[in-house]
Structure 1
Amino acid sequence: MQTSTVVVHGATGAQGAPVVRHLLAAGHRVRAAVRNPAACGPDPGAEAVFADLSDPDSLTAAYTGADAVVVQLPLVFSAEAAVPQAEAVLAALKRSGVARVVFNTGGSLVMERIGVPFVDARALLATELPGVVRTATVVAPARTYMENLSAPWSAPMVASGGEVAYPLPAELPVPWVALDDLGAAVAGLIASPAPPPLRVVAGPQALTGDEAAAEIAAALGRPVRWRTIDVAECERMLAPFLGPEAAAGVAAAYAPLPPGAPAPPEPDPAVIHTGSTTLREWAERQPWPLS
């Protein structure tokens, strides 16, 4: 396999770090795009390079000479920042001549602008990338990530309270995705001679709320129950860790559809990549807080 130089946004974050790890394991050279190369600590095998999403010139410099870029936008919800960041990425890709991009949406697949800056930034990138680079792939989870269950706002409730509190209906089968499987899928797209324009990553099991709780209980060796929470409670859980603006934006993504609104279509099975990590295996590996 030919090795490439790959720029990775969000390389020190929960979603970017597994991407870096899998790219390095495959023999690629990785540039970790960060705002403060001296302070940030990406994987020691990666080269930290300055890149500010509000500064197209810095992005152009970071991208120049690279074979591919993995784009992951941060949790930004303000109109003044979200869409301009996507525009800066597009401008820098055009200037630098990068041939291949994998764009990880970080959440539900969005292809249409709806007037919400966080959503519109992702829709802009997803729709405009094919006209800017020769090879572009949009990656999205089938629904949500296992790591949300071990995040600071939820891990203590699971480990100490024996409760998975999540804003999804208990009866909904969810193909929970491990971020390590997402990272492996992104690295595979970088190496692929003909990557698809869209890849949806799903976990190997579609579990209802009670089934998900039972898998975690088996891993922890003690009872765990599922509790569906509403958007308001989800926002209150997130706010101390993400801040009020990001908490409101993330929680809003789980809001139920208005009455009569059509459900989004299920992805074509041909674009789905199924990871290998089960929820129980993942839970057994987590450093759950002591009860």
Structure 2
Amino acid sequence: MTTNATPQTFLVAGATGSVGREVVRELLERGHTVRALTRNPSAAQFPPGVEVVGGDLADPGSLGPALDGVTGLHLITFTGGGYQPLETGPEIVALARKAGVRRLTVLNGGGPTPLEDAVRESGLDWTVAMPVEFMANALGWADSIRTEATVRAAFVDNVSAMVHEADIGAVIATALSEKGHAGQVYLVTGPQALTVREKVAALAAATGREISLVELSEAQALEKYLADGLDESTAAWMIDVFKNTPPEGRTVIDTVQRVTGRPARPFSQWATEHADAFRA
């Protein structure tokens, strides 16, 4: 892995999200100036040295000052409120080009979106990060593990090449701050394809407690998603993703190693780092 000798300035949208925070941290560790874009600057907490700036991708007019002097811009594709696809890509790209931004990265949201389309057509150097399932999804089991030492899930023998959020952030930070990544779409996976059983075993080892696994039927899983507050279309989509995980979601590839020069972090490491979230 190489790094730039000269510090640069980067603007990170979605900076309060699980991936955005890792992009911020990685760029900061590389010695760059980092601006974290958030709709609510007064409520945001970041490491010392991060410039917290207000702005909203859904309102491109709010981005002007935040783009001054920026070399690279990291974007997300959905609004922060209702997770609706952003329609403001052309305006954002025009502002970035006017401000002299040279590189754009996008966190793919699971499919084509108007903002990603605009970035690909921008004429600027762009890179798309397309991660598979986040390891942080395991936090959805935290309440039941804390209170009952139990995980309830369907399709427990299907595998996922789930990826650590820090590795996604590292890939994005590398593409933003180094040359050689223009026009690339990086599928980002972890180093192992794990079943639900194996994930639960890793959490048990990390927390030092026995955790039971209760296998749900497809109908029971759908009922649980609806009870948890998901709408019917989202619940049905989740059932399909876990039941019929596409090859991209269950096949390990070496993107993290190739792009960052570091091996991808295993789920056992993530579990150790987040063990307190699962303890009573």
Query: Which TM-score bucket, shorter chain as reference?
Result: 0.7 to 0.9
Output one character per residue of 1:84-124: Cα deviation in whole Å (capped at 9) or x when no partner: 3445433433443311011112x43x13xxxxxxxxxxx22
Task: Considering Cα pairs closer than 8 Å and 6+ residues apart, tell me whether 1 or 2 has the greater RCO.
Answer: 2
Task: Report the 3-state secondary structure (helix = DSSP H, G, I; strand = E; otherwise coil) of the residue aligned with 2:64.
Answer: helix
Output one character per residue of 1:256-291: Cα deviation in whole Å (capped at 9) or x when no partner: 27xxxx985638987833553221221112122542
- Where does residue 283 of structure 1 map in the other structure? 271
1:33 partner letter: L
CA contact (8 A) 2:58 2:86 kept: no
- 1:254 is aligned, of 232, 238, 253, to 238
CA separation of 1:13/1:146 partners in 2, compared to 1, >3 Å: closer, same or farther? same
- 1:272 is aligned, of 252, 255, 258, to 255
Q: How far 1:60 sits from its partner (Å)?
A: 3.2
Is 2:172 the partner of 1:172?
no
- Where does residue 62 of structure 2 map in the other structure? 58
State the TM-score, normalized to the length of structure 2. Answer: 0.80
CA separation of 1:99/1:280 partners in 2, compared to 1, >3 Å: closer, same or farther? same
Matches within 5 A, 1:202-217: 202-217=189-204
CA contact (8 A) 1:7 1:66 kept: yes
2:266 partner letter: T
- Where does residue 96 of structure 2 map in the other structure? 93
Is 2:45 the partner of 1:41?
yes
CA contact (8 A) 2:225 2:235 kept: yes
Matches within 5 A, 1:234-249: 234-237=225-228, 239=229
Q: How far 1:136 sits from its partner (Å)?
A: 0.6
- Where does residue 12 of structure 1 map in the other structure? 16
Within 2, Cα distance between the matches of 1:211 and 1:269? 16
- Where does residue 133 of structure 2 map in the other structure? 144
Output one character per residue of 1:233-273: Cα deviation in whole Å (capped at 9) or x when no partner: 22433x3xxxx6xx66754541427xxxx985638987833
1:40 partner letter: A
- 1:184 is aligned, of 152, 162, 170, to 170
Unaligned runs of at least 5 residues, structure 1 = 112-122
1:236 partner letter: A
CA contact (8 A) 2:256 2:264 kept: no
Q: How far 1:33 sits from its partner (Å)?
A: 1.0
CA separation of 1:46/1:277 partners in 2, compared to 1, >3 Å: closer, same or farther? same
Within 1, Cα distance between the matches of 2:49 and 2:169? 16
Q: Tell me whether 82-91 or 129-138 shows the greater mean CA deviation.
A: 82-91
2:198 partner letter: E
Aligned length: 262
Q: How far 1:173 sits from its partner (Å)?
A: 1.4
State the TM-score, normalized to the length of structure 1. Answer: 0.77
Q: Tell me whether 267-276 or 46-55 shows the greater mean CA deviation.
A: 267-276
2:85 partner letter: A
CA contact (8 A) 1:32 1:47 kept: yes
CA contact (8 A) 1:10 1:34 kept: yes
Is 2:33 the partner of 1:29?
yes
Q: Cα RMSD (Å) of the superposition? A: 3.0
Matches within 5 A, 1:114-129: 123-129=113-119
**Higher helix fraction: Structure 1 or Structure 2?**
2
- Where does residue 131 of structure 1 map in the other structure? 121
Within 1, Cα distance between the matches of 2:174 and 2:22? 12
